[in-house]
Structure 1
Amino acid sequence: MTATLIPATLAFREDGTPYSPRFDDVYHSTFGAFEQAEYVFLRGNNLPERWHNRRIFTVLETGFGMGVNFLATWAAWRNASARCERLHFVSVEKHPFSRDDLRAALDAVVAHTPHASATAGASGTSIARLAHELVDAWPMLVPGTHRLEFEGGRVTLTLAFGDAIEMLPKMWLRADAIYLDGFAPAKNPELWSPAIFKALARVAGEEATFSTWSSAGDVKRALVQNGFEYRKTAGFGAKWTMLAGRFAPRWRVRRYEPPLPLTLAERHAVVIGAGLAGSALVERLAARGWRVTLVERHAAPAREASGNPAGVFHPLVSRDDSSASRITRAGFLYALRRWTALDAVAQTSAHGAIEAPARTHAGLLHLATDDESQAVAAALASFGYPEEFVRGVNRAEAESIAGVALAQGGWFYPRGGAIDPASLCRAQIAAARALPDALVDVRYGVQVERIERAGDTWQVFDESSALVAQAGVVIFANAHDAARAAALNFAPTRSVRGQLTLLDESPLASLRVPVIGDGYAVPLPGGVTLAGATYEVDDTDIALREAGHVENLERVAQMLPGLQGAAADAAAGAHPRAWQGRVALRCVTSDRLPMLGQLGDEAAARRDAQRLSGAWPLDLPRAPGLYGAFAFGSRGLVWAALGAELIASQLEGEPWPIERELAEQVDPARFLQRALRQRSL
């Protein structure tokens, strides 16, 4: 169960140094925060020289604090004449600052740093400006992993909010440089415990270096015990010595090697499907310089479930903070950041060439049912989520937000809402194609029938057995058709029919925000209300049914009494006009979680089934270059962007955007793993 996130308390000593009352220690040396970062961590890891001409370079830090080390590293990257193409900075923080406190702390540090307002290299950007960008992008204080992107995605900050002892073993990356930072070992011994160094040894690259201002005996012993070599050098400020060194184990210290990029002759991927999953993949891969061939059987993107007039997006709150809740929370927050970035691209595109996704910004109400009201109330009280994430509301408060009468209260997601999925898909594809040196080929009206391995690449064929494309990577984002096209036996997906109802001249024309519960109601332009949706398993009939419209109205009327008259008329067959609506088929798995990541090699697993009977996900044989992003059910809006980022990170050998244990929950090979453990192969 996820622990409650307790923010840091900001205080200052008389000399203006930021100070932690909880740990009775300062956040940086009194001789200067940025001076310490440059001396101890940048020079201690021989940066920026070590990232010269590298495509990807990853820094791992044990305590984020105020972000001074990140800002100093970012500024050094900007100033480097031969910098890496993409800089990843991964850091853990148990007690993050609120946005306002972070701003105050950094303003104080910058004011006391003579060179902080000077320009950082040819870019002309000061550390003070970088600090403002960090504060503006600062995430909500909720537990889990948060991915922030700067410099058009070329500088990525992955923040893990939680206890380092719990979070570091869950992170999956290959660290090139390690910053051992945090409050003094005597003040915060857990951050310098053997478990921390063991976790670092799991993710250190072969040539990884480390540095720290501490030279405590326990630190030196823990380093040696986990395969690190250290040397003492002159310390910074009042410190006589500091430690620097490298990862050079003389024995095996880990079971699995940390991730590496996929070995390919060309970074070229074929993405099959142009719905929410495929469109997000195109954007995320193109942003990294990949050549992408998008293949879609319809004449345009978002013609199936992604073509609904609107879809709702919101996190998921549960009393035990389940895996589904954690994955949905991470996806929701990451999607908001990606959509904001798309808005910015649309604003700067020439002649409106890129359309901003059409979405609401007034929040979303989730009305409680009798079964869940107490559980969710307990979860809100237990986890102490910030009000910008979610807050409980009684009926009067909920009605004030909604603008219509409601049957009960519930909880309010200020950043939730509704979006036009098709406009999102179009924006992502357009943004990818508008990138400098973009290599995006879109092929509509092509039905993929099968794939074949040819040397080190995959060949994709259509229904007439004509070759459509050939690449080292193929990603199936075609929902119901993915398991067939990928020849997967262990992908238990099912179709769920969902019928929507559109009410013009709606009795709920004054509804201000989407309302969800046992059903949902979404206000659309022109006084139209979208009501939905039916949930009919293994029913693939796409014809509209009057019974489905009646069901939608009756369920929504239980939440919004203003619709009771229309629901009664519908049930009596007295609806005055022809029904309007839409039917789409959702693709779901038996555990209701998506399929995201590299596909398992089922043939190889069968051949080696006995040895693999106790396999963990990283033990499983994988189909080279084959990935999946499908079975999103009704949560495609909050899972698609995060899923695309996860797959892109796996392909590139970058730090994963969520904890490894969560990635394993959505691993497409999880059902193969279960079959192996049950010895059913």
Structure 2
Amino acid sequence: MTESLFFAPRDLPARWRHERIFTFVDTTFSAFLPLWQRWRDDDARCGRLHVVAIARLNALNDPPSLDDASPLAAELARAWPMRVAGVHRLEFDEGRVVLTLAIGEDIQDTLAKLWLRADAFHVEASGDPRKLCKTLARFAAEDATVCANASPDLHPMLRRALASSGFECLPDATESRLVARFAPRWRVRRHDPPLPCEASAREAIVIGAGLAGCAVSSRLAGRGWHVTLIDRHALCARDASGNPAGVFHPIVWRDDSVAARLTRAGFLYALRRWRALEDANHDLHRSGAGLLQIADTADDADALAAAIARFAYPSDYVQPMTRADASRIAGVDVARGGWFFPRGGAISPAAVCAAQIADASARITPRMNTEVARIEHDGRIWRAFDASGDVIARAPVVVLANAHDAARLAGLYGEPTRSVRGQLTLLDRSALDPLRMPVIGEGYAVPLGADGTLIGATYDIDDPDREIREAGHAENIERVAGMLPDLSRVPADVRAGRVAFRCVTSDRMPMIGQLADENAARRDARQLSGAWPLDLPRTPGLYGAFAFGSRGLVWATLAAELIASQIEGEPWPIERELAEAIDPARFLLKALRHGEIVAA
């Protein structure tokens, strides 16, 4: 197999030589280790090697042995992903080698759900190859090569499918494989695969230094970008990201919905990035006992237990809990059963932000105590201005990570975001002192050791009041007592409170990705009435990461990786369907489809 990866015309060391990024797609899940080794051995290697591997769930059953003679196999074993479906992104050699592992029931269907530009393919062809070849054509870069393993009787059909999809079959075929090069003589796809942002310099402005902005700054700096990070406060993480602690966990529900898949991807990717920061000696104040979710009703607890069994989730991802089991592990009485996330927990958002900035400090220039009044694009460069009209910073790329203010700066259609006031309560001595782990449900409770127990939070839509309210404390205590009954039996002492404002959308999904060119969309409204996300005109160099609601910890790192991948033209870290569900242009797209926008 190793020889087939490197023979001419593939000749990968020559083709990736001095390239910034090289992307290899493999549907056999066998290419990664030999490619990684060849990359390491090549002094003229590409700057960043992406291997996108497609596999079924059972491929995760047998990780390489930690005792393997190959040090690379041992490294892969240490990074081996949890046994759940979806896209797993693993990074090696300080992020210069990336394995994007897409796990699904059907290899061809899973591949078709991704979005990327590939330089080389190594595929296994079986059955009718036409769908596979059309997918390869959607992803192929100029002169991309295909090595297709196939039985001799499938060769004629595979040749025809490749040719009709724009590939030129080459004379390097053997009894077990065909070789082809992408050289279409006519247009074979509606949209070209993703390209890097056209930037005159690898410089970016990130507006907002909370969880979203610090994560984006870190991911761009890790790719060699210089980032100017602007925030109106004196320090990072002063708004919602400044809460004493935040909980992190995926969603598990009766069906594997878009929200469930998205939070699973965000949760698993965040765990990887946080572990990398902790390995670099940053203390994130992360709890280690897991997180318990209490069901709203006993019927919900039973339904979720059945769903966990049906999806065959591994025990290190989630475990169903009876009321007795949940009370035992929590250390306090709980009202109902629920489910336990062994890898969930609580963490300090401010510590995460500080670690991300410190880890990439050489490439990040903070501009604190600075408020951006407007942004402007001259066709090449973005400029951020203060209220006096002075230029704060200039760069070819801007990322809006400033929550409530992002929609204003971008001038988004239809006021898609709303503000939600959230009041937290810090309890001093209370019946929750024995609590061993964060518990969530109708509210949440986070043990902070000697600092008491953090509970919350109220959900006051479009309420701008920043003052602490006694009624808010009472509401938080009542809500948490509904899942932890001991809190209602013994009076609790309130030590302090905090008010922060979340930014949400009507569909409760975040806004992550490149923003649409709304002026161009209005001009072409009639032609775009049946548009799909890839049809929309996009604003060059303008991206957003905001409206995270209560899930900033779960979504921020994944949002940053998606935006960095879009800017760099790299394979996306989630399926295209999930990216479209959080596309900042989705409300504009809906308005165009419904005829709510008239051509300008």
Q: 1:565 to 1:527 in 2, by over 3 A?
A: farther
Maintained 8 Å contact 1:601/1:622: yes
- Alignment of 1:231 onto 2:209: no
Deviation at 1:490, TM superposition (A): 3.6
- Alignment of 1:500 onto 2:454: no
CA distance in 1, matches of 2:300, 2:249: 17
* Residue from 577, 595, 617 that aligns with 2:533: 617
Secondary structure at the counterpart of residue 153 of structure 1: coil
Deviation at 1:506, TM superposition (A): 2.6
Structure 2 unpaired stretches of 5+: none
- In structure 2, the residue matched to 1:392 is 320
Secondary structure at the counterpart of residue 612 of structure 1: coil
CA distance in 1, matches of 2:57, 2:413: 45
Deviation at 1:432, TM superposition (A): 1.1
Secondary structure at the counterpart of residue 280 of structure 2: helix
Deviation at 1:213, TM superposition (A): 4.0
Maintained 8 Å contact 2:301/2:337: no
- Alignment of 1:373 onto 2:310: no
- In structure 2, the residue matched to 1:360 is 287
Maintained 8 Å contact 2:143/2:181: yes
Maintained 8 Å contact 1:232/1:242: no
Maintained 8 Å contact 2:57/2:85: no
Residues 47-76 of structure 1 show CA distances to partners (whole Å, capped at 9, x for unaligned) of 111100000000011121xxx411000000
One-letter amino acid matched to 2:402: N
- In structure 2, the residue matched to 1:41 is 5
Deviation at 1:231, TM superposition (A): 2.5
* Residue from 64, 68, 92 that aligns with 1:103: 64
CA distance in 2, matches of 1:584, 1:549: 14
Q: 1:445 to 1:228 in 2, by over 3 A?
A: same
Deviation at 1:527, TM superposition (A): 5.5
CA distance in 1, matches of 2:273, 2:57: 26
- In structure 1, the residue matched to 2:277 is 342
Maintained 8 Å contact 1:41/1:212: no
CA distance in 2, matches of 1:131, 1:242: 27
* Residue from 229, 241, 261 that aligns with 1:294: 229
CA distance in 2, matches of 1:597, 1:95: 28
- Alignment of 1:678 onto 2:594: yes
Secondary structure at the counterpart of residue 529 of structure 2: helix
One-letter amino acid matched to 1:392: P
- Alignment of 1:316 onto 2:260: no
CA distance in 1, matches of 2:571, 2:453: 42
Residues 239-291 of structure 1 show CA distances to partners (whole Å, capped at 9, x for unaligned) of x5532221112222211100000111101110000000000001000000001
Deviation at 1:233, TM superposition (A): 3.1
Secondary structure at the counterpart of residue 611 of structure 1: coil
* Residue from 115, 140, 143 that aligns with 1:172: 115
Q: 1:387 to 1:489 in 2, by over 3 A?
A: same
One-letter amino acid matched to 1:416: G
Deviation at 1:232, TM superposition (A): 4.0
CA distance in 2, matches of 1:320, 1:395: 23
- In structure 2, the residue matched to 1:52 is 17
- In structure 1, the residue matched to 2:208 is 273
- In structure 2, the residue matched to 1:113 is none
Deviation at 1:221, TM superposition (A): 2.9
- In structure 1, the residue matched to 2:81 is 139
Secondary structure at the counterpart of residue 184 of structure 2: coil
- In structure 2, the residue matched to 1:25 is none
CA distance in 2, matches of 1:478, 1:513: 31
Residues 471-501 of structure 1 show CA distances to partners (whole Å, capped at 9, x for unaligned) of 1111110001111122223441001111111
CA distance in 2, matches of 1:621, 1:98: 39
Secondary structure at the counterpart of residue 180 of structure 1: strand
Maintained 8 Å contact 1:491/1:668: no
Maintained 8 Å contact 1:510/1:527: no
- In structure 2, the residue matched to 1:526 is 450
- Alignment of 1:84 onto 2:84: no
CA distance in 2, matches of 1:62, 1:314: 30
CA distance in 1, matches of 2:60, 2:40: 27
CA distance in 1, matches of 2:353, 2:58: 34
Residues 427-446 of structure 1 show CA distances to partners (whole Å, capped at 9, x for unaligned) of 0011111xxxx321101000
- In structure 2, the residue matched to 1:424 is 352
TM-score in terms of structure 1 length: 0.84
* Residue from 498, 511, 521 that aligns with 2:435: 511
Maintained 8 Å contact 1:505/1:527: no
- In structure 2, the residue matched to 1:24 is none
Deviation at 1:344, TM superposition (A): 1.2
TM-score in terms of structure 2 length: 0.96
Identity of aligned residues (%): 58
CA distance in 1, matches of 2:71, 2:418: 50
- Alignment of 1:589 onto 2:505: yes
One-letter amino acid matched to 1:41: L
Structure 1 unpaired stretches of 5+: 1-35, 111-116, 118-127, 347-354
- In structure 1, the residue matched to 2:31 is 69
Maintained 8 Å contact 1:103/1:132: yes
- In structure 1, the residue matched to 2:333 is 405
- In structure 2, the residue matched to 1:153 is 95
One-letter amino acid matched to 2:21: I
* Residue from 31, 38, 55 that aligns with 1:93: 55
Count of equivalent residues: 591
- In structure 2, the residue matched to 1:326 is 261
Deviation at 1:234, TM superposition (A): 6.7
* Residue from 130, 135, 140 that aligns with 1:194: 130
Maintained 8 Å contact 2:64/2:76: no
Secondary structure at the counterpart of residue 75 of structure 1: helix
CA distance in 2, matches of 1:667, 1:448: 24
Maintained 8 Å contact 2:240/2:501: yes
CA distance in 2, matches of 1:544, 1:642: 33
Secondary structure at the counterpart of residue 235 of structure 2: coil
Residues 498-549 of structure 1 show CA distances to partners (whole Å, capped at 9, x for unaligned) of 1111011232111111001111110002051111111111111111000110
Q: What is the 5 A alignment of 1:479-498?
A: 479-498=403-422
CA distance in 2, matches of 1:47, 1:70: 13
- Alignment of 1:465 onto 2:385: no
One-letter amino acid matched to 1:206: E
* Residue from 537, 557, 560 that aligns with 2:484: 560
Deviation at 1:94, TM superposition (A): 1.5
Residues 23-58 of structure 1 show CA distances to partners (whole Å, capped at 9, x for unaligned) of xxxxxxxxxxxxx22x11122521111100000000
CA distance in 1, matches of 2:176, 2:407: 58
One-letter amino acid matched to 1:332: F
Secondary structure at the counterpart of residue 448 of structure 1: coil
- In structure 2, the residue matched to 1:253 is 188
One-letter amino acid matched to 1:72: P
Maintained 8 Å contact 1:261/1:654: yes
Secondary structure at the counterpart of residue 199 of structure 2: coil
One-letter amino acid matched to 1:148: L
